Amino acid sequence: MDGLGTPGWRRSAPEVIAGLDRKRVPHHVAAVMDGNGRWAKQRGLKRTDGHAAGEEALFDVVEGALELGIGWLTVYAFSTENWKRPVDEVRFLMGFNEGILVRHRDQLNEWGVRIRFAGRRDWRVPRRVLKRIEESEALTRANKRMTFTIAFNYGGRAEIVDAVRALVEAGVKPSGVTEKAIRAHLYEPDMPDPDLMVRTSGEYRISNFLLWEMAYSELVFTEQLWPDFRRENLFDAIREYQQRDRRFGAVQE
């Protein structure tokens, strides 16, 4: 990514933003960055080369989100199920996510981005990676332009289990187990529900991402493999989102 040390991020040409209603931009966008392995395979490369190629896609999307004034961006980087992958790939992904922080946190900090990690910080995550996560969160804690959450060792079911466990530990009575109480014990209690979830690579599933939070999210699925995804594709997804009629179970007048 260029622009390191520059005050601004790369801006889109006007035609790229054309047709987007700037007043109805989703407040929270979630993305399942899928298809890295297939992208690599198509090129005769290793799966891990596909993950590495996804970095440029990710930070172009971050810039695009900043450009539109999106307040919350959450990306799925490693699921609680991804431990089932070959040990070399898992090891690569641990170091890769650490590297992403090292390479981008100063720039993100300059841009006013608050970095967060959501997921289980358990013994399986190498110490070094945990340390980098904590440093990056501390560095950017006070930033207000956008909250950028990396879902890492994240599972939607695990998150709900962890919230319920916290309630039980606190001795909450059955009548105290409410939606509000569960929400208050999710990994990011202050995070609004995603308005829009985008998944790349032509897979039409949630794969245990933000199960609680996506109850009423609009879902957009695209065919590009994640390393090919750019802010233009995010903007297309937002145009599609802006066509949707969100009813939340109610009847529209």
Enumerate the active-site residues: 34, 82
34 belongs to the binding site for Mg ion (CB under 5 A): yes
For residue 150 the two structure tokens come to 């990396």
- Compute the distance between CA of residue 252 and CA of residue 249 in angstroms, rounded to an integer: 9
36 belongs to the binding site for ligand IPE (CB under 6 A): yes
Element (H, E) at 229: none
186 belongs to the binding site for ligand IPE (CB under 6 A): no
The counts of H helices and E strands in the chain are: 8, 6
Q: Smaller CB distance to Mg ion: residue 181 or 214?
A: 214
x-or-dash string of contact with ligand IPE, 92-111, rule CB under 6 A: -x------------------
x-or-dash string of contact with Mg ion, 85-124, rule CB under 5 A: ----------------------------------------
Instruction: Give residue for tokens 């233009």.
Output: 232
Do 144 and 112 meet the contact criterion of CB atoms below 8 Å apart?
A: yes
61 belongs to the binding site for ligand IPE (CB under 6 A): no
Among 3, 10, 82, 143, binds ligand IPE (CB under 6 A): 82
Strands (E), the chain: 28-32, 72-79, 113-118, 146-154, 196-199, 218-221
Q: With 0-12 CB in 10 A as exposed, 13-18 as middle and 19+ as buried, what is 73?
A: buried
148 belongs to the binding site for ligand IPE (CB under 6 A): no
Residue 79 binding partner per list ligand IPE, Mg ion, none, with a CB distance cut-off of 5 to 8 Å that depends on partner kind: ligand IPE
> Which positions touch ligand IPE (CB under 6 A)?
32-38, 76-79, 82, 93, 201, 203, 205, 207
